Amino acid sequence: MKFKVTSSHLIAIIVVQVFVIGILFLILISSKHKAKADSKNFTYDMVKPKYEVLMDYDNAGLPYSDIVPLTEYPFFKYLTSSYGNGQDIKEYKLPIKGMAHDEFIATAYDLSFESCGKYPSHPEYGITFSGKRAARGRTVAVDPNVIPLGSKIHMTFPGEYKYLNGWYVAEDTGRLVKGKIIDVYLGESAFFEMERFGSMKVKVKIIYPEYY
């Protein structure tokens, strides 16, 4: 029996094809809209600012809500003990009137006999005038008539010696350390470094002992 295609069959086929094409078109349009929306969301997520709740701190580590008035600005915790295993750390607040800003001449010394007049066999070898053992990065010698012993001194060095910038303690004296001279301790044996160092102008901030 031979199948005969009539006009009704053709119309039905065309209707089905149109229906299928319509469904596919709707799916395609829907996919494009979804992709566009996802793209917008992705872009927004990439560029929108992210807000996080963070506690604001000043340089001394205090929350802004706890900052003392400018006249008592909190300084960094300062290491006060001799170098070694035991370290006593304390906080202090500095009234501005307790600080002096000035310019000094910096020189350098070590523990050689030429610098200190003592040999390693001497019982006081390496011991500063204040009784503490000299420590690089902390100990400086001063004229106690200009800077009281025990004062904290922030020194700002020029050029290649900026690595020495920081806080020091006036712990020692010296027969040649007179007036506006600060002698920086560079270690037990630092002859060549001392030769290169020579002398130079430095900016200093001095905190007197009665204010910490």
Q: Exposed/middle/buried for 68, CB within 10 Å: 0-12, 13-18, 19+?
A: middle
3-state secondary structure of 148: coil
Sequential pLDDT tens for the chain (212 residues):
555 556 666 677 777 777 777 777 777 776 666 555 555 444 444 433 333 333 333 333 434 334 334 334 333 333 333 334 434 434 444 445 567 888 999 999 999 888 888 898 999 999 999 999 999 999 999 999 999 999 999 999 999 999 999 999 999 999 999 999 999 999 898 889 988 999 999 999 999 886 55
Alpha-carbon gap, residue 199 to 153, rounded angstroms: 17
Query: Domain 70-211 belongs to what topology?
Result: Barwin-like endoglucanases (2.40.40)
DSSP annotation of 112: S
**CA dihedral of 124, 127, 133, 139, whole degrees rounded to 10:** -160
Q: What residues contact residue 98 under an 8 Å CB cut-off, 6+ apart? A: 207, 208, 210, 211, 212
> What's the whole-model pTM score?
0.54
Q: What residue type is assigned to position 46 of the chain?
A: M
The full set of domain ranges for the chain reads: 1-51, 70-211
Q: Which residues touch 136 (CB under 8 Å, ≥6 apart)?
A: 185, 186, 187
